[in-house]
Amino acid sequence: MKIHTLVTDVRNPLERGRQIGERFAEQIRTTTELYLDFFPRVGVSLREAQRIGENSLAALEAWSPDLAAEVIGLASGAGLPLWQLASLNARTEVLAARTRHSECSTTVHAPRGPRAPQTLQTWDWHDSLCPHGLMLALHTERGMHVKLFCEFGMLAKLGVNSAGLGLHFNILHHVSDNDSGGVPVHAIARRLLEEASSVEEAVELARSARVSASTVLTVFSRDDSSPRALSIELSPERTALVLPREDGWLLHTNHFLDPHLSQGEQVLDRADTQGRLGHLEQVIGQMDSCELRARAEAMCGGQGDSAPICFHPDMTLPDTERWQTLLSVGIDTERCLLEYAAGTPLQLAKAGFETF
């Protein structure tokens, strides 16, 4: 995956969307085409994708008119029909009732005290869908400075803001997931980054969204507050909060940790997600370094690039069954920075990382 960067001073959401759409029209069109080709091959017709996307955009407009306006601007700038950008931003909602993917392993260490949280996440996804990614820095109309990562044409995945709030993102699957088209979970992540200055504010915003697909947003603050970090497990049935362990560690992969929601777990490969969580539990004792490269190497443990948190695509499989660790990223809430490498944590440890 090739990662591009953009720093924008445009604060009006519609105009910012149009600016990004025009600047990266080629990448946005490519990403959109890849997803529109992918949906039917996993059982979602384009008519269904359009219906879910349009419903999700309507839900977004009711919940956050500004973010809906940015999606409209993206479509206009890239020269694409609005329903296609709506379906792209709702790709999790489009896929929710048809596929049960596992992706992403997240670690956050946020004990009480003056040191800012130490974090590291992998993003694992279909390699064929993401030839490009975007690191975006923006200022909101209310003056918040936000840095985020997203797939082209989409609103957000993970990021940090100038109030010292960081956010990691993992997909979940629940029996209550449906194709009604709720607020896109990637848009929820974006609004939290734009508006929340504390963990409590992030929870309140997340609770206010009606979702049709499950996800966990792990939020954390540079302030020594209580709670300083937690995972917000979203599902159409309910929202649950998962607190860190006594030692400040908060770990998440792709299954529910809330006891009630776990009863409706629908992940395809529970052994995989539980195995990755078990691996993280074993290695976090060595992940206490302030240096990201050291934490990344420790995250892999003695297995190195063969650790269960590292995905490598099997090119003999169709792309619908192929996975790759596309990104490893740490979030610095103290300096409002994203530190990242396109690849596994071990690749980050060996080759270094970029700072945005």
Query: What are the tens digits of pLDDT across the range 150-207?
Result: 999 999 999 999 999 999 999 999 999 999 999 999 999 999 999 999 999 999 999 9
- pTM, entire model: 0.97
Query: Above pLDDT 90, what percent of the chain?
Result: 92
Q: Is the pLDDT of residue 268 over 90?
A: no
pLDDT tens-digit readout, 291-344: 999 999 999 999 999 999 999 999 999 988 899 999 999 999 999 999 999 999
Predicted confidence at residue 103, as pLDDT, reads: 78
Q: What integer is the mean pLDDT of 51-56?
A: 98
Q: Which contiguous run of DSSP H or E holds residue 327?
A: strand 324-332
Helices (H) and strands (E) in the chain, counts: 12, 14
pLDDT at 226 (0 to 100)? 86
Strands 229-234 and 215-221: antiparallel
**108, containing H or E segment:** strand 105-109
CB distance 99 to 115 below 8 Å: no
pLDDT at position 142, please? 87
Residue 297, burial from CB neighbour count under 10 angstroms (0-12, 13-18, 19+): buried
Task: List phi, psi (to 5°) of 211.
Answer: -110, 155
User: What are the pLDDT digits (tens) for 107-165?
Assistant: 999 999 999 999 999 999 999 999 999 999 999 988 999 999 999 999 999 999 999 99
> Taking the CB of residue 99, how many other CB atoms lie within 10 A of it?
16
User: Crossing angle for the helix pair 13-23 and 25-41, nearest 10 degrees?
Assistant: 90
SS (H, E, C) 240-304: EEECCCCCCEEEECCCCCCHHHHCCECCCCHHHHHHHHHHHHHHHHHCCCCCHHHHHHHHHHHHH
Spell out the domains of the chain, with CATH numbers in brackets.
8-96 (1.10.10), 105-355 (3.60.60.10)
pLDDT, the chain, mean: 96
Greater confidence, 178 or 103? 178
CA distance 280 to 274: 10
Is the predicted pLDDT of residue 100 greater than 70, yes or no?
Answer: no
Residue of 102, 240, 97, 262 whose CA lies nearest to 181: 97
- Residues 297, 293: Cα–Cα separation, whole Å: 6
Cβ atoms of 60 and 68 within 8 Å: the answer is yes
Among candidate residues 232, 193, 191, 187, the one with its CA nearest the CA of residue 93: 187
- Kindly report, residue by residue over 243-261, the tens digit of the pLDDT: 999 999 999 999 999 999 9
Whether 69 and 82 have beta carbons less than 8 Å apart is answered as: no
